[in-house]
Amino acid sequence: MSFCTNLNCLYPHNYDTARFCTRCGMPLLLKERYRPLQLIGRGGFGRTFLAADEHLPSKPRCVIKQLCFPEADGESFLKAVELFRQEAVRLDELQHPQIPQLLAHFEQENQLYLVEELIAGQTLEQELQENGVFSAKQIWQVLKNLLPVLQFIHSRQVIHRDIKPENIMRRLPDGDLVLIDFGVAKQITATAFLHTGTIIGSPEYMAPEQTRGKTLPASDLYSLGVTCIYLLTGISPFDLFDVTSDRWAWRDYLPGGISVDNKLAETLDQLLQNALSQRYKSAAEALQTMNKAAQLVKKQPVNSLNSETGVDYQQLRNLLAAKKWQQADQVTWVVMSQALSKPIGSYFFSGDIERFPCEDLQIIDELWMKYSRGRFGFSVQTKIYESYNGDYGQFCAAVGWNLPNSTNPIQRLSFSLSAPIGHLPSHLWAGGTQLWRHINALSVKLATCYDESEY
C-alpha cells in the first residue's frame, strides 16, 4: 500500500507500485526514493508515516515526519518550522546508537520532510500502560542506560529539553533505550544561561528553571528523575508534588510490593532537587556517584574460579598472582572468548559486551583488581573513562594507550605495575572502528552486573 501525503487528498490509499496518486495525481515517492506506506501518527503541525526506502534492494523501513503548512501562517507555526528544521540539524550532529539516525531532510510540494531511522519497539509510556509500574531494578536500568546518552548529547553542547516516557523507546530485540524527538532540543551557547528564552517542553516533567525559560544540562537530569518516579508509581507528576510542603512525595504513592532501596531513593531525590546547587550538575556526575555506591555494596569476590558458563579461571589467577601481566592479558582474551562461546581470538563488538555473562565479567575484573592491588581491571578503566565525561581520546591518554592510526596501527603496551593506572587488561579484543563504543558498553555492563548482585 502507498499513502498519498497530500493534505487535501480524500482517498490517499494507493497500490504498492503506483508512482502517482490515482485520486489527486500527486507523486507518491518522496525525493524519488521514499514511499510512505501508512499514517502512524498526527498532531500539531505534523504527521508521521511508516515508509520504505526503494533505493535499496531490501527496501528497509524508515519513518517520515511531515510538517503540514496551514493556509494562514501564525507565530506558533513559524516556531514549529524552526523546531522542525532544528531537529534535522541536531540529529545530523548527534551520531549515537541510542539516537535515531537522520536519513534525509528536504522540501517537496511545499511541504517539509524528515526521514529517520525506524526504531522498532515501544515507548516507556506504552510499556507502563501494558505491563504496569516499573520495579526499582527496572528504574535502575533506565538510569544506567540513559545517563550515558545524556552525557553524550551534553558533551556535544545540546540539551534535549523534553525528556519524558513518550520520548524514550526500548528498541527490540536488544532492549537498549533510545532517546527520540529532538525537535525542541536546544544548543548550549555562551549566553544561554544568562537570557530567558521561549518555554518549550512538557510541563509535568520540566525543571523549575525551565519553566522560567532558562535551560541547562541539569534540566534534562531533573526531567529524567520525574520520568523515573512516574514509571515507579503510575501517578501523574503533577499529583506527586506536594505543594503544601514544597517537596516530591513520590514515596507515598509507591504501589504495594514495590520497594526502593536507599541508594536508588537518594539518587532520585538528588535528580529532583529544585535548587540547582543541590542537583547533579551533569550526567557524568550522576553516573560516577551511582557507580561508587555500587562498588561499596557489590558482592564479595567469588570463591569459585569456575563460572556457570563452564569457564575455568585457574590459569588466569595463577598468572596474575605471579605478576605475569603479559601472559595474563593474553589469557584474558581467551577466557572472554570462552565466556561468549566465540572462537579463541575472535574480536568483540559492543553487542558482545552487552550480552557478556555478569558472573564471568566480575570474576575477570576482580582477579585483575586483586592481584594488581587496584591498579588494573575493567572497573578501574571505566571509572577513568567516566571521569573524562566519555571522551575516548582523553581516556586513552590517561591509561597510556596510543590511538591506532594508519601510521601506528599496533597498540603499544607496558606489562608492568609501573604502567599507568588502568593500562591493563588491554582491549586488543575490540573489533570495528568505533572503539569508544566498547568502553562505553563495558561501563554500562559493569554497573548493571554489580547492581544486579545487590538486588
Asked if residue 254 lies in contact with residue 233, where contact means CB atoms within 8 angstroms, the answer is: yes
Active site annotation includes 162: yes
In degrees, to the nearest 5, what angle opens at C-alpha 201 toward C-alphas 195 and 203?
105
CA dihedral 387, 391, 392, 393 (to 10 degrees): -110
Helix residue ranges per DSSP H, 272-420? 283-297, 314-321, 325-339, 350-354, 358-371, 378-387, 392-399
- Given 73, 92, 162, 352, the catalytic residue: 162
Q: How many CB atoms lie within 10 A of CB 109?
A: 12
Q: Which amino acid is at 445?
A: K
How many Å apart are CA 383 and CA 412, to the nearest integer? 22
> Shortest CA distance to 159 belongs to which of 282, 63, 279, 272?
282
Beta-carbon-side half-sphere exposure of residue 431 (alpha carbons within 13 Å): 11
- DSSP for residue 413: -
Strand order in the sheet with 111-117: 34-43, 46-53, 61-67, 111-117, 102-108
Q: Look at the block and give the residue holding cell 603499544.
A: 412
How many Å apart are CA 179 and CA 170, to the nearest integer? 9
- DSSP for residue 27: B
Beta bridge partners of 104: 115
**86: phi then psi, degrees, rounded to nearest 5:** -65, -35
Cβ contacts of 60 within 8 Å, gap of 6 or more: 52, 53, 118
The residues assigned a catalytic role are 162
